[in-house]
Structure formats: structure tokens, C-alpha cells
Amino acid sequence: MSTKLLDLEIMSNQQIEAEMGERIRRRRLDMNISQTELARRAGVARRTITSVEHGEGCSLQTLIALVRALRALEWIDQFLPDPGISPMALLLQENKVKYRVKRRKHAGQPKKTVGEWKWGDEQ
């Protein structure tokens, strides 16, 4: 584990909010855009940007809008990666036994009537 991850584990929620606000501020500055421009791109008030950057928090919808405006949606995937299929579900899928195979109907072939069947015909 990285040192930063260990630090996050012992930080309070307020400290993590402040860290996230700082990261958003650094991303904005790296992109060389003002708070006003980020607010316009995200569809929020400039005061919201100031609040977030000072660690005062925001709604999840606002956070998503900011991350999108900062072209950093990959952060969300890093923050909450797709867990994939659970080991138990995978085990159940592997152990599922098929008792019969469904026969596929071939398009364009007419159905046989009772009188047309002969010994040796495939069903």
C-alpha cells in the first residue's frame, strides 16, 4: 500500500473532503482554467467551486459535474472500480449442468409434416 492510501485511511471525512478539494483545485490549475470557467463548464455557481476547493463538500451530482468538466471521469472508475462477477456467482455458473441442448431452428427450411418423415431423417 502506498503511504498516501494509508494516510487516507486514518483521515477524517472532513480531511478527505479537503484533500479532494485540493486535488480538484490542482487539476483546474493544471488545465489553466479559472474558477469562473470551471463553474460555467460544470453548470454550477463559482461560489460552489470555491467551497469545494476549500473542502466544504458538495453533492454527488455536483462532484460528477466537476469531474466531467475537468475531463477526469477516469477518477470515478479509480474511486469505485467495477467489482465484476462475484466469486460465488462464478462458481454457480461453472457448476450449472446442462441436461439438454436446445435445437436451433434453421431459417428458410420448411417444417416437416407428419406424412413426410422417413426412417434415417435427422430431426
The fourth-level CATH superfamily of domain 3-79 is lambda repressor-like DNA-binding domains (1.10.260.40)
| CA–CA dist 88, 45 (Å, integer) | 46
pLDDT of residue 1: 45
Question: Would you say 53 and 18 are in contact if contact means Cβ atoms under 8 Å apart?
Answer: no
Question: Would you say 70 and 28 are in contact if contact means Cβ atoms under 8 Å apart?
Answer: yes
Contacts of 57 (CB under 8 A, 6+ apart): 17, 51
| CA–CA dist 123, 118 (Å, integer) | 10
The mean per-residue pLDDT over the stretch 47-56 comes to 96
pLDDT of residue 123: 55
pLDDT of residue 8: 78
pLDDT of residue 87: 79
Q: Domain locations in the chain?
A: 3-79
pTM of the model: 0.63
pLDDT of residue 49: 97
> For residues 47 and 93, which has the higher predicted lDDT (pLDDT)?
47
| 21-48: pLDDT as tens digits | 999 999 999 999 999 999 999 999 999 9
> For residues 35 and 89, which has the higher predicted lDDT (pLDDT)?
35
